[in-house]
Chain A
């Protein structure tokens, strides 16, 4: 047998979900010893592979776990990993396709599909906000005098979410009280949230609808005038909200969200790998 064929066969066996038996074909490539059969030897690896992957999702998505319940979450994770095996060198990216997969497989999610989708968006944003790049900050001192030429951008680590459920509150509770075993209910209420970081920690900040629209526009970069004009085209705002612009910009500058445009050529990536 060639190396490539062996690795394909073994990977197929290893990635077979834990509730399915391993095929007897394992004995064709693995030796037994005086204590373990070939299948038992492979089972050591299969458990290691699956437990590592499931643990990673378990750690990354505590809020989703709370919404669907622990048992459902484990079943959902196994089905997701079977359909979307990792294609990255880092386990940090394991959940990158979870939202899309859940949209295509709502039956796997259970009865609370909408809040679950909101939660998975929030939790993926959390992962990205943790280690995304930081551009050169434009702080309050840089904005002391109005400069119509100044091109602004939003820090790459800031993620903007329009949610149908206030899952940000739920996620904070989930983290604080983990582990939980029950299923958590959440009432529908549209909210706008910025997921950002400060001194290495990730935070959620509620936004007003107008503020959200301007920040969305800011993600594309431009002078302040261009940013606001673009935002007004996509989401007309009452005059009183337009008057809030000054205080919003001041707050964003204070938080370090404003930066010079950053050229990003690669998708973010990181890992939580263990030494072995």
Chain B
């Protein structure tokens, strides 16, 4: 299922998050990278360096857009100005699919700029799915939603997180950006079995996978994206790959960012866990 309608029938390999400290290395050394993931909101501008850099990247690399503030789970309406700018960016990048988080973060027009956890209720699933459909219709590109890491649970929840994820994506008929590190973090914070989560996700809807590092504190784990990926997360990645096939995968590293070479080496570890091509695929390649 690597190429499916939720990732625009593409078959991308392992990508890296495009980050400012790496610009110079990328433009000087032109490393071989299958694709870059950009944070959409960093490029929703009218001019200047952000767009100049993006255009240079687009000359040489494939780019997929990842957003951080659509807040599909907020009861607020979608922000039309945000959508309009996103659509212009979609046209510029030619992103085959677009992702954002299964969370909320704004209320009554006030933005927290955080990825807040959803209560797992049928009402929340309905609200969220409706907004994803609206965004998908407007943007005219497949949308995949990412499971977030969480540190809190609500009394009002009526189902598990993985049931909620399935409920939302089925109702919205959208894809999933499966973050295996987030599953690991939440499983430790909420004491559930991450493999039960993985086994319950509708694999045919997985458009992309995220991997990342995190920080462990005494009483909880925090999703910090500032460390290498730990072995239990790689194990989850291997399991996800078995279920979903070789899916477009991205390493996130957002804080204490090491050199590009180091980030790339960490990302390429994913290749160890990806499946060898089936004989029938080899036939096609020949």
Proximity string of chain A (249-274) to chain B, C-beta cutoff 8 Å, 1 when within and 0 when not: 00000000000000010101111111
Q: B264 at interface (Cβ–Cβ under 8 A)? A: no
Note all chain B residues with C-beta closer than 8 A to A201: 49
> Known: A3-B121, A15-B112, A31-B154. Is A89-B45 also a contact (CB below 8 A)?
no
Is the beta-carbon distance between B127 and A8 smaller than 8 angstroms?
A: no
Is the beta-carbon distance between B219 and A269 smaller than 8 angstroms?
A: no
**Bound complex: CA of A269 vs CA of B66, how far in Å?**
18
Note all chain A residues with C-beta closer than 8 A to B47: 131-134, 156-157
Q: A88 at interface (Cβ–Cβ under 8 A)? A: yes
* Size of the chain B interface, CB-CB below 8 angstroms: 63
> Known: A3-B119, A29-B156, A130-B48. Is A271-B41 also a contact (CB below 8 A)?
yes
**Bound complex: CA of A214 vs CA of B221, how far in Å?**
58
**Bound complex: CA of A255 vs CA of B130, how far in Å?**
49
Contacts across chains A and B counted by CB atoms under 8 Å: 169
Stretch from B73-81, B134-142, B268-276 contacting the other chain: B73-81
Is the beta-carbon distance between B252 and A268 smaller than 8 angstroms?
A: no
Is the beta-carbon distance between B219 and A132 smaller than 8 angstroms?
A: no
**Bound complex: CA of A193 vs CA of B252, how far in Å?**
41
CB within 8 A of A35: which of B49, B68, B152, B219?
A: B219
Q: B123 at interface (Cβ–Cβ under 8 A)? A: yes
Is the beta-carbon distance between B68 and A130 smaller than 8 angstroms?
A: no
Note all chain A residues with C-beta closer than 8 A to B121: 3
Stretch from B90-98, B103-111, B162-170, B230-238 contacting the other chain: B103-111
Which of B107, B108, B156 has the largest count of A CB atoms less than 10 A from its CB? Answer: B107
Chain A interface bracket (under 10, 10 to 19, 20 to 34, 35 or more): 35 or more
**Bound complex: CA of A130 vs CA of B44, how far in Å?**
13
Is the beta-carbon distance between A87 and B111 smaller than 8 angstroms?
A: yes
Note all chain A residues with C-beta closer than 8 A to B45: 131, 268-270
Is the beta-carbon distance between A133 and B52 smaller than 8 angstroms?
A: no
Note all chain A residues with C-beta closer than 8 A to B219: 35-36, 40
CB within 8 A of B37: which of A33, A87, A275?
A: A275
Is the beta-carbon distance between A131 and B17 smaller than 8 angstroms?
A: no
Note all chain A residues with C-beta closer than 8 A to B5: none
Q: A242 at interface (Cβ–Cβ under 8 A)? A: no
> Known: A89-B41, A276-B254. Is A200-B49 also a contact (CB below 8 A)?
yes
> Known: A274-B39, A275-B254, A276-B68. Is A200-B48 also a contact (CB below 8 A)?
yes
**Bound complex: CA of A28 vs CA of B110, how far in Å?**
23
**Bound complex: CA of A10 vs CA of B79, how far in Å?**
21
11 A-B pairs in the complex with CB atoms less than 8 angstroms apart: A3-B124, A3-B127, A6-B156, A11-B112, A33-B191, A41-B152, A42-B152, A49-B114, A90-B44, A268-B45, A269-B44
Chain A residues proximal to chain B, CB less than 8 Å: 1-4, 6-8, 10-11, 14-15, 28-31, 33-36, 38, 40-42, 44-45, 48-49, 52-53, 85-91, 130-134, 156-157, 197, 200-201, 264, 266, 268-276
* 8 A-B pairs with least C-beta separation: A200-B49, A270-B45, A133-B46, A271-B41, A131-B45, A131-B48, A35-B219, A273-B41
Chain B residues proximal to chain A, CB less than 8 Å: 17, 37, 39, 41-53, 66, 68-70, 74-75, 79, 81-82, 84-85, 101, 104, 106-116, 119, 121, 123-124, 127, 148, 151-156, 189-191, 219-220, 222-223, 225, 252, 254-255
